[in-house]
Structure 1
């Protein structure tokens, strides 16, 4: 039995609790949150898409801590799942690593590249497994795209466009640009990470965006420059009107087909063949969270270092995000080494 402690009972902490509670051979033994109402279960953070943070797990079943450090030090846990506000990731992830725990860190891996690099170094020293929860690498329809790109199933990619926009989630943390990093870091990083997962680190980025809800970048569009892919862009933001639904999409134009994903569609993934036929691709009904957590637990169980996503990968994505933000601020194309 693998014992899990979840630190942070916001949207993602509750989503992870839901998933772990359905897994065989896994026991949630502890949770931590500084908010007494969340810790007691009186208040529950909700999700922004159907299936997130269902709140079905009974917190009274487990040991509860008001401090993540106490859970790491005193909790009967093998795995520490860090779903805390981003600036707290470094402190508590390193503490958990040094305590010999396996560690899952919710995205973004850290608030700054310097913090991310410290986490990379700590993970290399650690005796346990460490993984960053970049869920799009595991999301049904997105894992399909990664395979299609790698195997050139429909030929080379001519263009790839990703879009992830929503209304602002509200709350003190997300209103503080210094803390959350704005939508560029907290939301858009999903697509920045997936772009580099599919195509590698871009040679340069050209970004435009603006701030409206916070003093960080709240809405951004980026062109990622590659020598072998003519056009790769991504848009991300949380500056839409309050009634605007969460939107998660891509359109990828291959030589022989065009793949279109829309989370809100009845059939989220549609493949338009060059010959004129249109095909709805059947997808696993689960979300990426189930697959990423199952993968991490399987790595622990079998002593296999996670390689679908590494701490180094997450740090690289943060490098690209910081270049994008610099491009927005300066109005210039920013080169990546």
Structure 2
């Protein structure tokens, strides 16, 4: 049994709590949040762009604290799950690893690649199991797409587009010094998945602007490959008007089929081939599968393979190249 200590009880922390409730082989034993109400188990009043977050936590067997380091040093905790704003990831992740804990750290791993690399180095030195929480690599329809690309099920990929757009979420996200803007906190999902599918691009060409956070809040990027799909692009935004429904979509054009996913549809995933439309039904979300993979790795004493600390560093490097492209108006090589 892996005993979990969770730091940060905002939207992502509440999603993780709901996932742990369904997960065999793991038990939530401690939580910490700067808000005393949340630390006492009252998680009501939060927001979320995906349904399923916990609203109340049964504290009968859970220790609550407003001190993050008290949780890290709790001898009853085997693994620390870090769900706080990004600037605090390095301090907490390194402290937990040095305390001998396994660690799950929410995305983005850090505010920049140098900080992310320090976390990766600390993880390697610690000998503990460490995983960045890149949930799209575990999302059923994204797992399906990865398998289809790798197996060549529909032939080679000719082009791929990804779109993830929303209005500005409430809370600290509108402060770019905490969130890094949509380019880092939101768009990294798709940048990372492009990297997962096709490898490191030779270069990126991006355009973007800021609206609220002071950082880039709306971005479009072309990922340029010397030997890969002709066209790969992604758009990410927190600049839509209030009331705009959260958009999460991809369209991938293969030699022999077009695959389209749109989270807003009753049947989100459709394959168009041979004049027919096939609806692919897949249940669940990425949070349950993500946490199950990590717990399985801890119990087996092996390193995660679906996503690694090195992957998280690489994805932030690409984001930094995208920002440089916005700043210079030129393609940036990687």
TM-score (norm 1): 0.96
State the secondary structure of the residue aligned to 1:328. Answer: helix
| Structure 1 position 37, deviation (Å) | 2.4
**1:125 corresponds to which residue?**
125
**1:305 corresponds to which residue?**
303
Q: Does residue 1:26 correspond to 2:26, yes or no?
A: yes
Q: Does residue 1:99 correspond to 2:99, yes or no?
A: yes
Q: Does residue 1:238 correspond to 2:249, yes or no?
A: no
Alpha-carbon contact 1:79-1:104 (below 8 Å) kept = yes
Alpha-carbon contact 1:205-1:334 (below 8 Å) kept = yes
Q: How far apart are the structure 2 equivalents of 1:303 and 1:61? A: 26
Task: Map 1:200-219 to 2 at 5 A.
Answer: 200-219=199-218
Alpha-carbon contact 2:205-2:331 (below 8 Å) kept = yes
Alpha-carbon contact 1:21-1:57 (below 8 Å) kept = no
Q: How far apart are the structure 2 equivalents of 1:211 and 1:308? A: 33
**1:315 corresponds to which residue?**
313
Q: How far apart are the structure 2 equivalents of 1:99 and 1:50? A: 34
| Structure 1 position 38, deviation (Å) | 2.0
Alpha-carbon contact 2:9-2:43 (below 8 Å) kept = no
Alpha-carbon contact 1:183-1:237 (below 8 Å) kept = yes
Q: How far apart are the structure 1 equivalents of 2:67 and 2:75? A: 11
Alpha-carbon contact 2:80-2:103 (below 8 Å) kept = yes
Alpha-carbon contact 1:299-1:305 (below 8 Å) kept = yes
**1:41 corresponds to which residue?**
41
State the secondary structure of the residue aligned to 1:125. Answer: helix
| Structure 1 position 277, deviation (Å) | 1.1
Unaligned runs of 5+ in 1: none
Unaligned runs of 5+ in 2: none
- The superposition leaves residues 296-332 of structure 1 with CA deviations (integer Å, 9 ceiling, x where unpaired) of 0011111121011000000100000011111112211
Q: Does residue 1:194 correspond to 2:193, yes or no?
A: yes
**1:331 corresponds to which residue?**
329
Q: Does residue 1:281 correspond to 2:288, yes or no?
A: no
Task: Map 1:53-72 to 2 at 5 A.
Answer: 53-59=53-59, 61-72=61-72
Q: How far apart are the structure 2 equivalents of 1:330 and 1:319? A: 16
Q: How far apart are the structure 1 equivalents of 2:18 and 2:182? A: 25
- The superposition leaves residues 180-218 of structure 1 with CA deviations (integer Å, 9 ceiling, x where unpaired) of 100000000000000000000100000001100111000
**2:156 corresponds to which residue?**
156
Q: How far apart are the structure 2 equivalents of 1:223 and 1:182? A: 19
Alpha-carbon contact 1:109-1:314 (below 8 Å) kept = yes
Q: 1:47 to 1:60 in 2, by over 3 A?
A: farther
- The superposition leaves residues 148-190 of structure 1 with CA deviations (integer Å, 9 ceiling, x where unpaired) of 111111000000000000011121x212112210000000000
State the secondary structure of the residue aligned to 1:141. Answer: helix
Q: 1:302 to 1:42 in 2, by over 3 A?
A: closer
State the secondary structure of the residue aligned to 1:74. Answer: coil
TM-score (norm 2): 0.97
State the secondary structure of the residue aligned to 2:318. Answer: helix
